[in-house]
Structure 1
Amino acid sequence: MSEIPTQIPIKIFLVDNHRSFMDGLQMVIDTQKPRMEIIGTATTTHEAIEMAIQLKPDVILLDLEFDDTSGLDILPALLEKTKSKILILTGVRDSNIHEMTIMKGAHGVLFKGESVKEIIKAIERVHAGGTWVDNAMLGRVLGHNGKNRTTVPTDPEARKIASLTPREREIITTLLKFESSTNDEIAGQLCISKHTLKNNLTVIYSKLEMKNRVQLIKYALNHRLASLE
């Protein structure tokens, strides 16, 4: 009698700084054995990179909001140093940030409030080589890389500036008006959390090819990106 082949589980690595949420998610995924299994968890971006290299997961579920940095910041390193598929699982509702994660190489974006069924389907989809994004977002991302190229300015700096959304320009304006304020204070002026501000700044830095807030402020002043009136 021939043996029934053993099913190879999808190896999943969870990266989230909310321990209670991660524990709940682990319980959910544990119900999917032997199809899936959690092989590790991390609560900081630093340990996430080190553990991902060691564990070699098939799929990484990555949050965007951390105390030390943004999940966006470690996406390039995770993609470069591992062969894992990366599924963003987040409570952040900013579509501009979601699009940036896809453009940076993430394989999908999923909200934390989604049903167990949707989370499992998303994991299976990205593991199989697909993407998990809604049609509206997919259209916008393709627009960044497709026909819309002919409608953007040809000057490199003008093209970068044109990519900024009205909300991103508002953030830059606020940074200029309150240049000496902390990120917590800037976030308060914008009525958003410091984590959301951090994610938005990461997107802005990426678009304008800046490394930090000082460079951004200097660039904004030189290119008159906002009025200080």
Structure 2
Amino acid sequence: MYSVIIVDDHKMFRESLKKMLHMEGLVKVIAEASNGKEFLNLLSSHQPDVVLMDISMPEMDGVEATRMGIELIPDLKVLTLSSFGDERYYYSMIESGVKGFVLKSSGIHELLQAIEEVSAGGSWFSNELLRKVISSIGKTPGESKRETLSEREVEILKLVCEGYSTEQIARDLSLEFDDVLMMKEGVLHKTSSANTAALVMYAIRNSLIEI
């Protein structure tokens, strides 16, 4: 069973989501917060597998709460709960360290899949929302660095975007684990990607993978 914290300023939404998650029997909501400050206070006494984070909230929004939460707990896994109209915040959320995005209008089964994937160290993007993320990021300034990646690095980047672990990549490409780890770090550095979610955005923006 996965443990989660729900961070959203709408009490009715939190209560409805909590009820749906508990009905499925796969997720336990261990705490709730109505803004980023409340969430940060919870981290001293709660250790969730995944945080379900709203973006726009009073006192402290999801961008700042995610950034500060990851500073406190570097391996904290945050999944953004997004509404239409939040597109302007997507890039900031990715830079803050979120592992993915799920539309609030998505079905409960997609949310459960996202929680499972993010808890395991992967990333998740609702298809409809992903197109909005790509569109939003495509409008941000930044020079493409695709030409700096070697063929092997591009190959590894594609596998990372498909959710392959370092161990799986090493096995599939007949490489040493440490060599793959070093190349993954090199890809993140060359693409200026803070995490896998940002790397997915880079790969799509540079036509290295398709939706």
Whether these two folds match at TM > 0.5 is yes
Which of 20, 32, 36 is residue 41 of structure 1 equivalent to?
32
Which of 50, 55, 59 is residue 50 of structure 2 equivalent to?
59
Q: 1:100-127 CA distances to partner (integer Å, 9 max, x unpaired)?
A: 2112210011111111111111111111
Query: In the aligned structure 1, how far is the partner of 2:102 from the partner of 2:68?
Result: 21
The TM-score normalised by the length of structure 1 is 0.55
8 A contact 1:16–1:63 mirrored in 2: yes
Q: 1:151-202 CA distances to partner (integer Å, 9 max, x unpaired)?
A: 9xxxxxxxxxxxxxxxxxxxxxxxxxxxxxxxxxxxxxxxxxxxxxxxxxxx
8 A contact 2:50–2:76 mirrored in 1: yes
Q: Which runs of 5+ in 2 are unaligned?
A: 148-211
Within 5 Å, which residues of 2 pair with 1:105-120? 105-120=97-112
8 A contact 2:80–2:102 mirrored in 1: yes
The TM-score normalised by the length of structure 2 is 0.59
Task: Calculate the aligned-residue CA RMSD, in Å.
Answer: 2.8
Greater Cα radius of gyration, structure 1 or 2: 1
Query: In the aligned structure 2, how far is the partner of 1:51 from the partner of 1:120?
Result: 23
Q: Is it true that 1:32 corresponds to 2:28 in the alignment? A: no
Which of 63, 88, 97 is residue 96 of structure 1 equivalent to?
88
SS in structure 2 opposite 1:148? Answer: coil
Amino acid in structure 2 at the alignment position of 1:46 = K
Query: In the aligned structure 2, how far is the partner of 1:150 from the partner of 1:54?
Result: 43
Which of 109, 120, 133 is residue 128 of structure 1 equivalent to?
120
Q: Which runs of 5+ in 1 are unaligned?
A: 1-8, 152-229
8 A contact 1:13–1:52 mirrored in 2: no
Q: 1:149 to 1:124 in 2, by over 3 A?
A: same
Match of 1:148 in 2: 144
8 A contact 2:90–2:136 mirrored in 1: no
